[in-house]
Structure 1
Amino acid sequence: MSSPASGHPSPPRRGPRIAAISATIALFVAMIGIATSTQASAAPGCKVDYSTSNWGGGGFTGSVKITNVGDAITGGWTLRFAFPGSQTISQGWSATWAQSGTGVTATSMSWNGNLGAGASVDIGFNGTYSGTNASPTSFSLNNVTCTGQPGTTTTTTTTTTTTTPGGPGPGNRVDNPYVGAKVYVNPDWSAKAAAESGGSRISNQPTAVWLDRIAAINGTTSARGLVAHLDEAVRQAAGSTLTIQLVIYNLPGRDCSALASNGELGATEIDRYKTEYIDPIAAILGRSAYANLRIVTVVEIDSLPNLITNVSPRPTSTPNCDVMKANGNYVTGVGYALAKLGAVANVYNYIDIGHHGWLGWDDNFGPTAELLYTAANASGSTKANVHGFIANTANYGATTEPYFKVGDTVGGQPIREKAKWIDYNKYVDELSYAQAFRQRAVQAGFDSGVGMLIDTSRNGWGGTARPTGPGPTTSPDAYVDGGRIDRRIHLGNWCNQKGAGLGARPTAAPASGIDAYVWVKPPGESDGASKEIPNEEGKGFDRMCDPTYTGNARNGNSMSGALPDAPLSGAWFSAQFQELMKNAYPAL
């Protein structure tokens, strides 16, 4: 079983200066319940917080938080307000945004249309303005003007708009395959974890099954095959609903920008990929014995992001990535996998989107969404075969950074521009990146119901080195470096990182737009060898796994931060497993 060398960021992206301001207005708005004609509505009540961060050149970001202080709302909501000036929305997220003149509407998505009593939802947008950027003074929800407090029950002729459960693609898929389901515990990984001192504390956690070469389908001397895993999943389900997670990872010319997780297929062997790898997997998944399982597939880690950042004329380009872009086999292979796997009614495909420290810059972010849409419609596939996307696979980016935000300033200096750790990136953690990418993917053409996964298997960053508050305000670097949860030397470091810890335990629906926090990378499995080790799996030696390596353009010529004495990618690495448990957050 192999795992990827995930995470090869582009060099710094230079963007506009940001002069961040925040003007938060606490407004109370009336809310009526959605109801059919002549039916009484629920008692309304809502609080809205509106804030802005202005950029240089007349751009700004608007953030809107709606908190329900009345009865539960079901079936969807629409927020309306008017800009007092020349503001124009250019892009929005977590709602469907529309503007006519100064009037703005924000309509709920399929995944956030229900708002329970006391619940809140965060939505936002980017826009432009000239002159001053004054805040709206009045809001309404579902066509009722703001009243300030929970109101009385009224009668309305508003027609209910309901969202039919079910995700994209054929079959009766549910919207979120993790909700209401147990998740498969891989017995092979569980046994290794339990054999470690203290490992029984996490050996019952669900992790993904990696199908990283053709031989993995039938099984190897060290791991059971796909049929055996699926049979065990049926046994674990015991008549209840169970989700099993599979990593599809064997493209021709795999991982063109690194060496630790190169694969068995050459750059031109697309036919073997189809007939010897994808076709057998799809045939097994389609067996009636497994029809009651929910089968989540993580499709081809690192491949498509490499075609954005690591091809000519980028300074981080590699000859192998140029070859894969030219021959089109990454796009062809991903499209073929989506089509074949998506034809199985109980399969949920999630495409890998790297992580915020790789694709968060403006010139990577949008092009990645567009490329993924192209791949989703290649080789006979359609966008309906994509249930969602996954961020941070086998990487270390913190889920949230609680002690600083990208719009913060220190001494009048914007940290996005001045702090080396951020270096003009728009995102500082995986949750904000994943939520924003979801919206950008919808803009690129994907269905509005797509969901997101975040791999939290190694991004906890607990232990004694974990900050307990913001860094000092003596400089932007001191503020960010002193307060950041992610303790890597550089965001571009990806191999067996020293100081890393287990992150949030696998959890269904933990945040808006996020289907689950998952452990796709099984803790304790190496990212790559610290030195060259001859092998028959096609895995090379990448210097980023060498703790003495002084780096390259992708990590700002920094030390690699890798642990010593690591085995081949996918092999058990006891020292790393112990360190992950020691630095777990939440602590074990």
Structure 2
Amino acid sequence: MNLWRRLSGRSRALALTSAGVLVAGGLVTLPVTAAQAATQCSVDYVTNDWPGGFTANLTIKNLGDPLSSWTLGFTFPNSGQKVVNGWSAIWSQSGQNVTAKNESYNGSLASGASTSIGFNGSWTSSNPKPTQFTLNGTVCNGGTPPTTAPPTTAPPTTAPPTTAPPTTAPPTSPPPGQKVDNPYAGAKGYVNPEWKAKAEGEPGGSRVSNNPTAVWLDRIAAINGTPNSSSNGSMGLRDHLDAALAQGAGYIQIVIYNLPGRDCAALASNGELGPNDLNRYKAEYIDPIAAIQGDAKYRNLRIINIIEIDSLPNLVTNTSGQAGGTAMCDTVKANGAYVNGVGYALAKLGALGNVYNYVDAAHHGWIGWDTNLVPTIQIIKQAATASGSTVRNVHGFIVNTANYSALTEPYIKITDQVNGQTVRQSKWIDWNQYVDELTFAQAFRQQAISNGFDSGIGMLIDTSRNGWGGTARPTGPGATTSVDTYVNGGRIDRRIHAGNWCNQSGAGLGERPRANPATGIDAYVWVKPPGESDGSSKEIPNNEGKGFDRMCDPTYTGNGRNGNSMSGALPNAPISGAWFSAQFQELMRNAYPPLS
């Protein structure tokens, strides 16, 4: 629901003809030198422009001998053009001269190979395209020049043709798609073929297998695909984007999930990067994702990024002095890994004209208290303005990601009283201000706007596992004996404690994905693919950096974060992201609305 718009620039493919003429929307005659004649490369320079700023994506193609390293150079035509920040290269600028040197992972370019790099820029009076590029010091000429020397005599002068030029404009590349208010509205969602195959491998799974679910990039290797992985799938990011085009999908959902010291208050979803690996996160994870998502091939596909679930709220609730405080959360708060990592991701990805960022905002059972909600929004804003980002790179927020909190509680309102006591005094609600995700999401949105976010932001709610149907679903309010009997008898969320998050027993599929379901809500979505485990119920050695968290152990008696309650987890679960057949069957059995 972001009302901010960006204008889009034209794609300009740059190359020299055999006579030394540069083609870039016009003709510029350049002398051909021996150095230029030996150059064999081409550069494609594509921009998305908006008032005062732009994103440039460049594709460098090596048409000559293999390279072990490269340096690209060009000059901005105007002094007001600046590189703000870049990716997939080491960028520098001196005056109007710009240099981009390869990163460690993309220096090798075989003959005929290409690499994509890019940057966010600013401009003042205008933003014309550079007219010449050099690679390793020599001018790119688009290919091998002719072996015969160019003519030394001027061409004969002839009268210009008397026929009028054509009145139709010359063809241009179609502009990248403008950002829309709601990327889900009127668009077909991408169905992950790998998840679809797993769902249809289960009895009755075809009833839900055509719903769009998100693709999780939970480690660096997932960008290019992990064929030997036991969790998620073998397809890489580009594979999924290509498949989305083949499906005719209007949008695809990608989970960006690999912060340094990831998930600092849990173990089941710990990541591969240590708390001090921010530079690796930028160069090896976000930069390659931005380069792929910025490929002009995907410009008409709405790419929706779910940014770093279970991250920033941890800095509010799970540091020293809190009931669930951990040393890792203290570390990533102190060194800025989460704030700067999220800011960097927002800046790189939000600058792309067809990309929409939704930042994770936890759920009502985590930050629904007065002491947590506004501080969480404030730290998200801190991240949204870090590492070169602005709040405009946040299109919205998502709540209940991979969680189980009920969408609505039909038989309990936070304003209810029993025998003169507010239901907020019940053990389940525990003085929270909210009882369900819809009211929480709508309130979060208003608070975010009040704290400086764009008034057009929208909310997403993950409804993949919060249906709570089946025979245990209440049909009316609980007994009015006490606030506890009233709340416990009437609540449809049947968890033992609202802090329980791992493979919850009794859960069901929730509302099916759809756009504009309620005021302020862009969509109900299935970001957590139903049937993928939250974590193993016992320790399982693996090479994916995924640990064992006792909250996934059905025999665990809890900790301060769940009121020292039983975990409520299902037994015999595999590691996070791996297929969990028993859970998928239970989710279908307890679906609400029920499956037909």
Letter in 1 for 2:562: N
CA contact (8 A) 2:217 2:254 kept: yes
Residue 544 of structure 2 is matched in structure 1 by 537
Output the CA distance in 2 between the equivalents of 1:293 and 1:171.
8
Choose the corresponding residue for 1:194, options 195, 200, 205. Answer: 200
The Cα of 1:259 is off from its aligned counterpart by 0.2
Output the CA distance in 1 between the equivalents of 2:502 and 2:184.
29
Matches within 5 A, 1:159-558: 172-221=178-227, 222-237=233-248, 242-416=250-424, 418-558=425-565
Residue 570 of structure 2 is matched in structure 1 by 563
Which secondary structure does the structure 2 equivalent of 1:182 belong to?
coil
For structure 1, list consecutive stretches of 5 or more residues without a partner in the other structure: 1-169
Letter in 1 for 2:450: Q
Relative to the length of structure 1, the TM-score reads: 0.70
The Cα of 1:172 is off from its aligned counterpart by 1.9
Matches within 5 A, 1:69-108: none
Q: How many residues align?
A: 415
Letter in 1 for 2:308: E
CA contact (8 A) 2:177 2:299 kept: no
Letter in 1 for 2:495: R
Output the CA distance in 2 between the equivalents of 1:258 and 1:231.
34
The Cα of 1:315 is off from its aligned counterpart by 2.7
Cα shift readout 1:137-187 (whole Å, capped 9, x = no counterpart): xxxxxxxxxxxxxxxxxxxxxxxxxxxxxxxxx972111000000000000
Residue 574 of structure 1 is matched in structure 2 by 581
% of aligned pairs identical?
73
The Cα of 1:478 is off from its aligned counterpart by 0.5
Residue 126 of structure 1 is matched in structure 2 by none
Matches within 5 A, 1:145-164: none
Output the CA distance in 2 between the equivalents of 1:321 and 1:581.
36
Over aligned residues, Cα RMSD in angstroms? 0.9
Output the CA distance in 1 between the equivalents of 2:326 and 2:564.
17
Output the CA distance in 2 between the equivalents of 1:171 and 1:408.
47
Residue 153 of structure 1 is matched in structure 2 by none
Which secondary structure does the structure 1 equivalent of 2:453 belong to?
coil
Letter in 2 for 1:374: Q
The Cα of 1:489 is off from its aligned counterpart by 0.2
Residue 82 of structure 2 is matched in structure 1 by none
The Cα of 1:314 is off from its aligned counterpart by 1.5
The Cα of 1:313 is off from its aligned counterpart by 1.8
Q: Which has the higher contact order (CA 8 A, sep 6+)?
A: 1
Which secondary structure does the structure 1 equivalent of 2:274 belong to?
coil
Residue 98 of structure 1 is matched in structure 2 by none
Which secondary structure does the structure 1 equivalent of 2:433 belong to?
coil
The Cα of 1:522 is off from its aligned counterpart by 0.1
Output the CA distance in 2 between the equivalents of 1:335 and 1:321.
18
Cα shift readout 1:54-80 (whole Å, capped 9, x = no counterpart): xxxxxxxxxxxxxxxxxxxxxxxxxxx
CA contact (8 A) 2:343 2:387 kept: yes
Output the CA distance in 2 between the equivalents of 1:287 and 1:326.
36
Output the CA distance in 1 between the equivalents of 2:539 and 2:419.
48
Relative to the length of structure 2, the TM-score reads: 0.69
Which secondary structure does the structure 1 equivalent of 2:538 belong to?
coil
Letter in 2 for 1:380: G
Which secondary structure does the structure 2 equivalent of 1:348 belong to?
strand
Letter in 1 for 2:461: I
Cα shift readout 1:533-578 (whole Å, capped 9, x = no counterpart): 1111111100000000000000000000000000000000000000
Cα shift readout 1:78-127 (whole Å, capped 9, x = no counterpart): xxxxxxxxxxxxxxxxxxxxxxxxxxxxxxxxxxxxxxxxxxxxxxxxxx
Letter in 2 for 1:251: L
Letter in 2 for 1:264: E
The Cα of 1:261 is off from its aligned counterpart by 0.2
Output the CA distance in 2 between the equivalents of 1:277 and 1:413.
51
The Cα of 1:513 is off from its aligned counterpart by 0.1
Output the CA distance in 2 between the equivalents of 1:446 and 1:459.
28
Output the CA distance in 2 between the equivalents of 1:413 and 1:285.
53
Output the CA distance in 2 between the equivalents of 1:313 and 1:413.
30
Instruction: Tell me: CA distance 1:171–1:328, structure 2 relative to 1, closer, same or farther (3 Å).
Output: farther
Which consecutive aligned stretches of 4+ in structure 1 deviate over 6 angstroms post-superposition?
Answer: none
Letter in 2 for 1:553: G
Letter in 2 for 1:321: C
The Cα of 1:220 is off from its aligned counterpart by 1.0
Letter in 2 for 1:478: T
CA contact (8 A) 2:323 2:561 kept: no
Letter in 1 for 2:481: T
Letter in 1 for 2:196: S
Cα shift readout 1:418-445 (whole Å, capped 9, x = no counterpart): 2111111000000000000000001110
Output the CA distance in 2 between the equivalents of 1:511 and 1:315.
34
Which secondary structure does the structure 2 equivalent of 1:183 belong to?
coil
Output the CA distance in 2 between the equivalents of 1:220 and 1:424.
44
Output the CA distance in 2 between the equivalents of 1:440 and 1:577.
36
For structure 2, list consecutive stretches of 5 or more residues without a partner in the other structure: 1-175, 228-232
Output the CA distance in 1 between the equivalents of 2:561 and 2:308.
21
Output the CA distance in 1 between the equivalents of 2:446 and 2:421.
29
* Higher-Rg member (1/2): 2
Cα shift readout 1:472-508 (whole Å, capped 9, x = no counterpart): 1111001100000100000000000000000000010
Output the CA distance in 2 between the equivalents of 1:248 and 1:558.
31
Output the CA distance in 1 between the equivalents of 2:492 and 2:323.
29
Output the CA distance in 2 between the equivalents of 1:334 and 1:559.
33
Residue 68 of structure 1 is matched in structure 2 by none
Which secondary structure does the structure 2 equivalent of 1:200 belong to?
helix
